[in-house]
Structure 1
Amino acid sequence: MFVHVKKYSEGFLSVKFPYSVENVEKIRKVDGRKWIESDKIWVIPDNEDRIKLLYRLFGKDNVFFENYEYDKDTMIALKNELKIRNYSVKTQKAYLGHVRRLLQFHKKCIDNIDKDDIKLYLLRLVDANKSAAYIDQAVSAFKFLYIDLKNIDDVDFDIKRPKREQKLPSVLNTNEVFKIIESVDNLKHRAIIMLIYSAGLRVSEAANLRIEDIDSKRNLIHIKGAKGKKDRYTLLSNAMLELLRQYFKIYRPECWLFEGQNGEKHITVRSIQKVFEKAAFKAGVKKKVSVHTLRHSFATHLLENGTDLRYIQELLGHASPSTTEIYTHVSERDFAKIQSPLDRIMNKVKL
Structure 2
Amino acid sequence: MDQVKEVLRYHHYAYRTEVTYCQWIVRYIHYYGGKTHPREMGRQQVEAFLSNLVGKKNVAASTQRQALNALVFLYREVLDMPIEGEMMPIRSKKKVHPPTVLTKEEVQGMFLKLKGTHLLMAKLLYGAGLRLMECIRLRIQDVDFGQNKIYVRGGKGGKDRLSVLPQNIRDELRFHIDRVIVQHHEDLVEGFGAVYLPHALDRKYPNAARETGWQYVFPAKKRSIDPRSGREMRHHVLETGLQKAVKRAVTQSGIHKKAGCHTLRHSFATHMLENGINIRVLQTLMGHADVKTTEIYTHVMKKDIDAIESPLDQW
TM-score by length of 1: 0.71
CA offsets 1:296-318 (integer angstroms, 9 cap, x no match): 11111112222222222211222
Pairing 1:170–2:140 present: no
In 2, the alpha carbon distance for the partners of 1:163 and 1:308 equals 33
Pairing 1:106–2:35 present: no
Pairing 1:122–2:92 present: no
Pairing 1:297–2:273 present: no
Contact 2:150 2:165 in 1 (8 A): yes
Q: Aligned partner of 2:14: which letter? A: S
Q: CA deviation at 1:200?
A: 0.9
Residue 22 of structure 2: aligned partner = 96
- Give the secondary-structure state (helix, strand or coil) at the position aligned to 2:259: coil
Alignment of 1:71-90 (within 5 A): 75-90=1-16
Q: Aligned partner of 2:57: which letter? A: A
Return the match for 1:133 from 62, 75, 79. Answer: 62
In 2, the alpha carbon distance for the partners of 1:253 and 1:301 equals 36
Pairing 1:269–2:239 present: yes
Q: CA deviation at 1:112?
A: 2.2
Contact 2:140 2:217 in 1 (8 A): yes
Q: Aligned partner of 1:87: which letter? A: Y
Return the match for 2:136 from 195, 204, 207. Answer: 207
Contact 1:205 1:226 in 2 (8 A): yes
- Give the secondary-structure state (helix, strand or coil) at the position aligned to 2:152: strand
Q: CA deviation at 1:239?
A: 0.7
Contact 2:128 2:268 in 1 (8 A): yes
Residue 260 of structure 1: aligned partner = 220
Gaps of 5+ in 2: 185-214, 224-233
Q: Aligned partner of 1:100: which letter? A: V
Structure showing the higher strand proportion among its residues: 1
Residue 202 of structure 2: aligned partner = none
In 2, the alpha carbon distance for the partners of 1:265 and 1:95 equals 22
Residue 325 of structure 1: aligned partner = 295
In 2, the alpha carbon distance for the partners of 1:266 and 1:122 equals 35
| Number of residue equivalences | 270
Q: CA deviation at 1:101?
A: 0.8
Residue 73 of structure 2: aligned partner = 144
Q: CA deviation at 1:217?
A: 1.3
TM-score by length of 2: 0.78
Which one has a bigger Cα radius of gyration?
A: 1
RMSD after superposition? 2.2
Runs of 4 or more above 6 Å deviation: none
In 1, the alpha carbon distance for the partners of 2:22 and 2:250 equals 35
CA offsets 1:258-297 (integer angstroms, 9 cap, x no match): 2321373322211111221232222222212111111111
Residue 308 of structure 2: aligned partner = 338
- Give the secondary-structure state (helix, strand or coil) at the position aligned to 2:160: strand
- Give the secondary-structure state (helix, strand or coil) at the position aligned to 2:157: coil
Contact 1:191 1:247 in 2 (8 A): no
Residue 195 of structure 1: aligned partner = 124
Q: CA deviation at 1:250?
A: 6.4
Q: CA deviation at 1:341?
A: 2.8
Sequence identity (%): 34
Q: Aligned partner of 2:270: which letter? A: T
Q: CA deviation at 1:198?
A: 0.2
Pairing 1:308–2:278 present: yes
Gaps of 5+ in 1: 1-74, 347-351
In 2, the alpha carbon distance for the partners of 1:144 and 1:259 equals 33
In 2, the alpha carbon distance for the partners of 1:137 and 1:203 equals 20
In 1, the alpha carbon distance for the partners of 2:164 and 2:156 equals 18
Contact 1:253 1:259 in 2 (8 A): no
Pairing 1:182–2:112 present: yes
In 2, the alpha carbon distance for the partners of 1:318 and 1:82 equals 26
In 2, the alpha carbon distance for the partners of 1:279 and 1:123 equals 39
Residue 229 of structure 2: aligned partner = none
Q: CA deviation at 1:253?
A: 5.8
Q: Aligned partner of 1:183: which letter? A: K
Alignment of 1:29-44 (within 5 A): none
- Give the secondary-structure state (helix, strand or coil) at the position aligned to 1:188: helix
- Give the secondary-structure state (helix, strand or coil) at the position aligned to 1:334: helix
Contact 1:187 1:247 in 2 (8 A): no
Q: CA deviation at 1:248?
A: 4.8
Distance 1:183 1:308, change over 3 A: same
Q: CA deviation at 1:194?
A: 0.9
